Each structure stands twice: as structure tokens, then as C-alpha cells.
Amino acid sequence: MMHRLRAGLPISPEEADTWVDVPYSIQQLHALLQREIDSAKRAETSVLVFRLKHRPFGVHLDDNTQFGELRPELRDRLQSVHPGVRAVGSQSGEVIGFAPSLLRRTDGEALLNELTKSLTEPVTVDGLRVLLGPRSGGAVLDSELDGVDDLLSATKLALGETDASRVAVMFHPYQRARQSRTIEMARALHEAVVNRSLSVRYQPDIDLRTGRIAAIKAYAHWHPEGSGVVLNSDLFEAAEKASLLVPIGREVIEEALRSIYGWITTGLLDQTTVWVNVHPVEVLAPDFGKAMATVATFDPRLRLGLELTENPTEDQGFIYDVLRTLVAKGAAAAIGGFGTGYLNMAEFQQLPFSAAKIDRTLTKQMTGNDASARLVEAVVGLAGLFGLEVTAHGIETAEQVRRLQEYGCATGQGFYFARPMDAAEMQEMLTQIKMGNKVF
């Protein structure tokens, strides 16, 4: 039978019945599920399809790497909840399966919760007790989801909705609607990049001791025709979806450098650092190091600042080496969201960062909450221990400024000083400062 399956040949019903006892592929699961759907429609019952994400120890690949074998420990645990469960382990570490003969659609949610809960108990594998920490997405056969492909895609959407507080999520139409909006936004963003209709917004970093502009942060700004301004988080999600992080990042850097260098040469600024957000994907671009080195050595009055938006999970060594080389050439590198993300204290002093940006959520919670205030003070002190320039984001009140000054935070940014503005507005602000008509 294995030879026939690998050749993609049809199988008989007798052979299909043996799938319960041997490894089988997602193609076989697809055929089994279609048979269960047809049976459920005739009996006017339903079927739960589920997708479980768990530790990859449960996947065993044969020498052809064509089939994922579900570990018997997991199979037995799932079938202890519902004896009709059929499932297959995938190469990505997911378990995809179904449970037939549901009498009511609402039974699917209860069953998904039970299946997920069953895997929160330790599983004994090769004499070791292993915790899986599963998450699951489920969908049931109904008038909206009446085909195999519909059900399987729905489970993927539902699984994407899970988090630490919701480990089992059933499919809901809003998930598909949101995915459609994301895809449509990605298409529109692609058109905006091609037509160069994105713009750049600027927001000053203020020296909290002198009130002078210490640096300028440049952001991508998108205002599609006929709609409101797209939030940075939505813009970032659409850019990832459309694989546009690199061209958008380059456009922001080029436009920001053009504007800020113009302000320097016309005397509105003596010298400054221009900060831009950089995703790890951008650093991995083949020409990133060379292109940024050209910028970093162009004019000592214009310092390039690269703020890493998230900790790289892959190619860390290469990414940090690129940043380290650029810092040696005069650029600045900052860790974004300092105090809220993962930080390996033992390795941090070896990383190439010269600055730290305190996340706005910490700044916001600082006043009226002594514990949060002490946390911010500790974060500022920690950054100081590593010799980092510290900037607090999200400053909105004079009280926040006062406390940050007490804690030794050097610079700050937020609506208290100035909102993000276009190049013309930023130039006007610099002009007023130069004329002595505006101070922070």
C-alpha cells in the first residue's frame, strides 16, 4: 500500500480503513475528511476539523519525508476524548485532524476545548514526561463551511487567533473578513510604493535637560485616498504581508536624509541624528550594509540611527555583525521597546546597541502607579549600566518629564513636545526655534 500511496494512485475502501493504524499523509486525511463530510450530510450531523500547534517532538518523518507520523502518545490522548478522532502530524509540528458524528454545531467548540485540554496534561514519551503547551483552531461543518478546503483554511485562520489567554479558538467569519482586509491593504500598499505615494512624518527627540532637539525620528506615513490615515501597526502588518518592508524602509531613509540634510545645509540644524525603524528582514537585504555605510560616512553632521524594531529570531549573528560594522563607521543602533521585550543579560553587553528606546507603554503607566514608576527607573538605570543613550517614547505630561529627569533619562519623545509632522511643518518648527520663538 505504501508504494501505491507514494505513487499517488487511488486506494480501495479496504485500504482506507487501515489508515488508522499506519502513518498517512495530509492527502489521505483530505480524502478521509471528504468521506466523513458526505456521511455527516446524509445523517444531518456535523464534523469538527481541528489544527493543533504543539512541540515538534510529535512529528516523525520517514526517509522520503513525505508523511508526518503522529506520535502514538498524542494519538491515544486525542482518541481518549473522542474515539472517532483521526489526525496526522505535519512537518511544521502541527496536528491536523477531525472528529465525526457531532449532533449539534455547538458541540464542536466544547470538543475542541476538551481536545486542547487533554494535551495540557504531561505526555510520557520514551520515559520522559513532556509538557506540550498546545494551541488549537477549530471549524465545524455547516452551510458556510461545507467543503474540505474551506474547513482546513478556516482552522488555520482560527489557530492564528490564539494567544496565551485563548489557547483554543473556533473559526468565526470575522477572521476571514479581517484576512481579506489585510490582503486588500497589502495590495493597495504595493500600489502606493510603486507610485511613491507614501510620505514621511517627523517627530523630534528632545533633550530633557536643555530642551533642545537632540534627534529626529522619521516614520512612514500612509493616507490612502478616500480613507483615514493607516496606523503604524496596520501599515507594518500590510508591509509584512506584501513583502514590502525593504522598499518602504529604503524610501523612508532616503526621503528623511534628503530633508534633514537640507535643514542642516540651510542652517536650521547644526547637526543631528536621524532615527529610522529597521526590521531584521531589512538588515538581511544583500546591499543593506553597503548602502547604510555610505550614509553613515557621508557627513559627520548627519548621524544615521537604526532602531531595531524587534529581536531577530534567525540569523542573529549576521544581523548584529552588520549593525556592529555600521556603528564602527559612525552610525547609532538602538534597541526598540526596551524594557518590554526579551533581553538576555549575559549577552546584551556584546550586542552592537548604542542607544535604548523605552517603550511608550511603560512611560504611560509611570504616573499614578508607583510600581510602574520604579520599573521605569530600573530600566533607565539598566540602560545606563550598559552605557546606552536612553530615550523615553510616549511622553504626554509634564509630570512624566519631571520623573524621567529624576531617573536620569536623557531624551524624550511624545505628544507633550510635538506630534508627528510632515516635512513642511517640521521645517517651520525648526525656523521658529532658530528665530527664538519656540522652546521646549
Q: How confident is the model at residue 90 (pLDDT cuts 50, 70, 90)?
A: low
Q: What is the pLDDT of residues 172-219, one digit of tens each?
A: 887 777 777 777 888 888 888 888 888 999 999 999 999 999 999 999
For the chain, list the domains and their CATH numbers: 2-171 (3.30.70.270), 182-434 (3.20.20.450)
Contact 169, 138 (CB under 8 A): yes
With 50 as the cut, is the pLDDT of residue 338 above it? yes
Closest CA to 365 of 393, 389, 332: 393
Distance of CA 140 to the CA centre of its chain: 28
For residue 117, report the phi and psi dihedrals to the nearest 5 degrees.
Answer: -60, -35
3-state secondary structure (DSSP) of residue 148: helix
Cell of 322: 552588520
Residue in the structure block whose three cell numbers are 564602527 = 328
Crossing angle between the packed helical segments 245-265 and 423-434, to the nearest 10 degrees: 30
Cell of 232: 503604524
Contact 97, 85 (CB under 8 A): yes
Mean pLDDT over all residues of the chain? 82
Q: Give the pLDDT mean for 28-44.
A: 87
d(CA 116, CA 134): 6
161, HSE (Cβ side, Cα atoms, 13 Å):
20
> Could you tell me where the DSSP H helices lie in 285-411?
288-296, 316-328, 345-348, 360-365, 370-385, 398-407
Q: Give the pLDDT mean for 372-385.
A: 85
Which of 15-29, 232-246, 318-332 is the most confident on average?
Answer: 318-332
For every residue of 413-426, DSSP letters joined together read -STTT---B-HHHH
Q: What is the pLDDT of residue 20?
A: 46
Of 101-105, 271-275, 373-377, 400-404, which gets the smallest average pLDDT?
Answer: 101-105
Q: What is the pLDDT of residue 292?
A: 94
Q: What is the pLDDT of residues 150-166, one digit of tens each?
A: 899 899 989 988 887 88
With 80 as the cut, is the pLDDT of residue 9 above it? no
With 70 as the cut, is the pLDDT of residue 106 above it? yes
Distance of CA 58 to the CA centre of its chain: 26
Closest CA to 392 of 200, 206, 203: 206
